[in-house]
Amino acid sequence: MRLCFLVEEQYRYDGMPLDVIRQLHAWGHQVDVLRPGRSLIPLSEAIRAGSHDAWILKTVSGGPGLSLLEAAAAVGLTTVNDVRAIRGVRDKALAAVLARAHGLPVPVTYAAARAEEFAEIPEAQFPLVVKPADGSSGRAVRLVETPDRLVDQAPTGESGGATGGLLIAQPYVPNSGTDLKVYCVAGELYATERCSPLHPGHAVRERQVPLAPDVARIVEEAGAVFGLDLYGVDVLLGPDGPVVVDINDFPSFRRVPDAVARVSAAILHLARKGGGRPFPDRAVPMATVVPAATPLTAIGGDR
Ligand SMILES: Nc1ncnc2c1ncn2[C@@H]1O[C@H](COP(=O)(O)OP(=O)(O)O)[C@@H](O)[C@H]1O
Ligand SMILES: [Mg+2]
């Protein structure tokens, strides 16, 4: 197989994806590596139909790699993950609407460019969790107890970035302080639990835990809805059952046994299967005007 990995600067020393690159190379495959944050990319020469069996990216929020992966998809190359699937989850506002529209259990979600707009949300829905729509790794995630704490506590949207500085807010889902992080590699699911960044005192080292069938069904459904092949889902066990708070393309698969070999084998399988098709191939969705303080997730149905 001929593979091309885009390695973002943030991961240039990380086992994921570097060990996967080494593994695939050791298995005898041709693996080209591009570092879009640190090199000149000869676009016309490097991104050509038929140049590789697959292009692979472990994304980073706002990183340059995703544009190049999209360029690869545009000429019909197979990408891991699919670029549309990555866009669907990299923007938490889009992810919340899509997930809700497909019946996944996600919290009611609001969006605004400035945190103070969330003061219009009914007080009964506080405390809120406010987070950047293009956030990751717990960056700038805040618990806001009351409307008057919105301005001093919550992150303000910065202009720019993949989502234009958009923020989202959701009612806080009461939970034990540990996230259930479920990873999917080649259709196999692995569950771990880890301390929530909103409960820092609750020290739990990430460790593997059994996966309940109802959570497994939700995670599989999330993968199918977004079209993701390598992904992780953050689930909270709330008073009304499991709730999906985050979906990540190509996570680090920490605590997944033999993660490097599994991810490498999954990439080969996806590259062999192909599925690359010229992009874009979909009609642009019609714009929807949302009245003030309407939950984003109300667009998808009345749950
Ligand atoms: N609605 C929510 N209710 C309770 N806790 C939440 C909620 N949303 C997020 N969290 C907590 O904050 C953490 C980080 O939020 P998440 O949406 O996963 O963003 P990130 O992309 O930064 O990981 C989650 O793992 C979870 O512990
Ligand atoms: Mg998360």
Specify the pLDDT at position 290. Answer: 44
In a domain, 205, yes or no: yes
Amino acid 283: pLDDT: 36
Query: Can you tell me which atom of ligand 1 is nearest the CA of 92?
Result: 17
The CATH number of the domain holding residue 125 is: 3.30.1490.20
What's the 179 CA to ligand 2 centre distance in angstroms?
Answer: 9
Q: Whose CA is nearest to atom 20 of ligand 1?
A: 136
Which atom of ligand 1 is found nearest the CA of 175? Answer: 4
Centroid of ligand 1 to alpha carbon of 255 (angstroms): 20
For residue 136, give the ligand 1 atom closest to its CA: 21
Tell me: do 252 and 204 sit in the same domain. yes
Which atom of ligand 1 is least distant from the CA of 128? Answer: 1
Nearest residue (CA) to ligand 1, atom 24: 196
pLDDT given at position 152:
62
pTM to 2 decimals? 0.90
Domain boundary among 234, 257, 280: 257
Q: Tell me, yes or no, whether 65 lies in a domain.
A: no
Question: For residue 123, what are the domain limits?
Answer: 108-172
Query: Where are any strands of DSSP class E within the chain?
Result: 2-6, 30-34, 54-57, 79-80, 110-112, 128-132, 142-144, 167-171, 178-185, 188-195, 207-209, 230-238, 241-249
Q: How far is the CA of 205 from the centre of ligand 2 (A)?
A: 16
- Whether 256 and 190 have beta carbons less than 8 Å apart is answered as yes
Substitution site in 131, 145, 254 for ligand 1 pocket (most atoms within 8 Å of beta carbon)? 131
pLDDT in the model for residue 75: 95
Q: Tell me, in angstroms, the distance from the centre of ligand 1 to residue 245's CA.
A: 6
Residues 129 and 183 reside in one and the same domain: no
Collapsed DSSP state (helix, strand, coil) of residue 300: helix
What is the per-residue pLDDT for 299?
52
Of 172, 203, 224, which residue is a domain's last? 172
Torsions phi, psi of 241, nearest 5? 115, -175
Q: How many domains does the chain have?
A: 2
Chain position carrying tokens 């062999």? 272
Residue 26 lies in a domain: no
pLDDT of residue 205: 81
Q: Can you give the pLDDT at residue 195?
A: 94
Q: Decide if 31 is inside a domain.
A: no
pLDDT of residue 275: 72
Ligand 1-lining residues (CB < 6 angstroms)? 107, 129, 131, 135-139, 141, 170, 172-173, 175, 179, 196-198, 234, 236, 245-246
**How far apart are the CA of 133 and the centre of ligand 2, in A?**
12
* pLDDT value of position 286: 37
- Residue corresponding to tokens 């292009």: 55
Q: How far is the CA of 180 from the centre of ligand 1 (A)?
A: 11
Which atom of ligand 1 is found nearest the CA of 172?
Answer: 3
Q: What is the CATH number of the domain that holds 238?
A: 3.30.470.20
Residues of the chain with pLDDT below 50 are 154, 157, 159, 282-291, 300-303
Tokens linked to 260:
């490097």
Answer yes or no: is 52 within a domain: no
**In contact, 68 and 41? CB cutoff 8 Å:** yes
Q: Which atom of ligand 1 is nearest to the CA of 196?
A: 27
Q: How far is the CA of 247 from the centre of ligand 2 (A)?
A: 7
Choosing from 152, 172, 192, the residue where a domain stops is 172
pLDDT of residue 251: 97
83 belongs to a structural domain: no
Ligand lying nearest the CA atom of residue 89: 1
- Between CA 46 and CA 89 the distance in angstroms is 27
